[in-house]
């Protein structure tokens, strides 16, 4: 085992090739030999995606998604029409294409609107095709686009009259996949594990009880659910971690939602269906796809450890 430690620094983003450190609005890019590659100009947002030799970012209030090619040190802009209101959560990537997802409402008459969902496919900075109304059979918005393999996935919010709960569905390339109903008051994201085995869906009910739903991604059957029964106790950050060919969930929970002072971090074993380690402070433990490497960060101490195994 080998560790590499950076003092007084937390990294900002990483993928299987590089990691970045953000300081005074500039991104510095390093490889995993910890060799410096390039530094960006000032980027006035932290809403960024690191992908395949570039950093993509969006400035709030604009219809522009920017790209910094850090290998060739070039900058590009993608401008969109008035209908399109993209943000960084509207962006995902397939094998060799970038996909923008946006929605708009067309007024049919003063009391009636038709919802439109559009996918724009971009390759080599050129729009190659658009797909209109991919959920034409549904009256609900699709949100939070992501990809796995060469497929696109969305969450769909469906309101129920009783208790004003959301019902969550998963869409795959324009077709709704049957997901067990997950009634919830709030839902912001979901995640597919790097190995494609599991789907993680954190939710918060109207009593602010947090739940982490874990699904078999192939069958979409729920295999476990971590529940926080104390009122006001919820998890707001949760993600998959792979270590030694096993999958874990790292989540942060706060027993006092009205304060940022108390955050606990827990590591949950999917195989053993139990929490195997807890910390009474915030700690970020992430695996790097395709590498036997963990990145461990303690935000308060501003310390980063690269742990090879």
Query: Which of 2-6, 25-29, 187-191 shows the lowest mean pLDDT across its residues?
Result: 187-191
SS (H, E, C) the chain: CEEEEEECCCCCEECCCEEEEEECCEEEEEECCCCEEEECCCCCCCCEEEECCEEEEECCCCCEEEEEECCCCEEEEEECCCCCCCCHHHEEECCCCEEEEEEEEEEEECCEEEEEEEEEEEECCEEEEEEECCCCCCCCCEEEEEEECCEEEEEEEEECCHHHCEEEEEEECCEEECCCCCCECECCCCEECCCCCEEEEEEECCCCCEEEEEEECCCCCEEEEEECCCCCCEEEEEEEEEECCEEEEEEEEECCCCCCCCCEEEEEECCCCEEEEEECCCCEEEECCCCCEEEEEECCCCEEEEEEC
Fold classification of 1-58 (topology level): Thrombin, subunit H (2.40.10)
Query: pLDDT tier at 41 (50, 70, 90 boundaries)?
Result: very high
Q: What tens digit of pLDDT does each residue of 5-29 get?
A: 999 888 999 999 999 999 999 999 9
Across 164-168, 215-219, 243-247, the highest mean pLDDT is recorded for 243-247
The residue-averaged pLDDT of 227-234 equals 71
CATH architecture of 186-309: 7 Propeller (2.130)
d(CA 285, CA 237): 12
Q: What percent of the chain has pLDDT over 70?
A: 75
Better-scored residue on pLDDT, 130 or 188: 130
Q: What tens digit of pLDDT does each residue of 106-143 get?
A: 788 888 877 777 788 888 888 888 877 665 555 555 66
Asked if 158 contacts 169 with a C-beta cutoff of 8 angstroms, the reply is yes
Is the pLDDT at 42 greater than 50? The verdict is yes
Backbone angles phi, psi at 30, to 5 degrees: -130, 150
Q: Decide: residue 174, CB within 10 A, 0-12 exposed, 13-18 middle, 19+ buried.
A: middle
Is the pLDDT at 50 greater than 70? The verdict is yes
Asked if 119 contacts 131 with a C-beta cutoff of 8 angstroms, the reply is yes
d(CA 33, CA 293): 12
pTM score = 0.83
Residue-level pLDDT at 119: 82
The residue-averaged pLDDT of 31-53 equals 92
d(CA 138, CA 206): 25
Residue-level pLDDT at 191: 86
d(CA 153, CA 190): 10
Averaged pLDDT of the chain: 81
Query: Which of 23-27, 117-121, 252-256, 264-268 shows the lowest mean pLDDT across its residues?
Result: 252-256
Query: Which of 89-93, 115-119, 158-162, 291-295 shows the lowest mean pLDDT across its residues?
Result: 158-162
Better-scored residue on pLDDT, 14 or 105: 14
Is the pLDDT at 164 greater than 50? The verdict is no
- Kindly report the number of other CB atoms within 10 A of residue 82's CB atom: 7
């Amino acid at each position: 085992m080998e560790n590499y430690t950076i003092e007084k620094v937390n990294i900002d983003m990483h993928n299987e090739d590089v990691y970045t450190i953000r300081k005074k609005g500039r991104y510095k890019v390093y490889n995993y030999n910890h060799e410096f590659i390039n530094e960006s100009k000032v980027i006035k947002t932290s809403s960024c995606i690191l992908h395949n030799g570039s950093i993509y970012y969006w400035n709030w209030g604009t219809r522009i998604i920017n790209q910094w090619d850090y290998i060739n040190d070039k900058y590009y802009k993608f401008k969109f029409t008035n209908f399109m209101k993209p943000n960084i959560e509207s962006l995902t990537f397939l094998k060799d294409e970038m996909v923008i997802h946006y929605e708009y409402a067309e007024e049919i008459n003063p009391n009636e609107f038709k919802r439109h969902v559009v996918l724009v496919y971009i390759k080599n900075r050129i729009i190659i095709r658009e797909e209109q109304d991919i959920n034409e059979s549904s009256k609900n918005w699709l949100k939070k686009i992501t990809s796995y393999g060469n497929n696109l996935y969305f969450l769909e919010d469906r309101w129920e009259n009783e208790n004003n709960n959301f019902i969550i569905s998963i869409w795959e390339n324009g077709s709704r996949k049957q997901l067990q109903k997950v009634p919830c008051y709030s839902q912001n994201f979901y995640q597919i594990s790097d190995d494609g085995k599991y789907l993680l869906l954190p939710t918060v009910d109207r009593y602010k009880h947090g739940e982490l739903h874990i699904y078999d991604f192939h069958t979409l059957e729920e295999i476990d659910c971590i529940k926080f029964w104390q009122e006001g106790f919820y998890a707001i950050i949760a993600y998959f971690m792979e270590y030694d060919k096993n999958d874990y969930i790292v989540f942060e929970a706060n027993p006092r939602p009205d304060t940022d002072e108390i955050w606990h971090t827990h590591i949950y074993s999917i195989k053993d269906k139990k929490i195997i380690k807890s910390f009474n402070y915030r700690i970020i433990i992430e695996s790097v796809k395709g590498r036997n490497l963990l990145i461990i960060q303690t935000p308060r101490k501003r310390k980063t450890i690269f742990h090879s195994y």
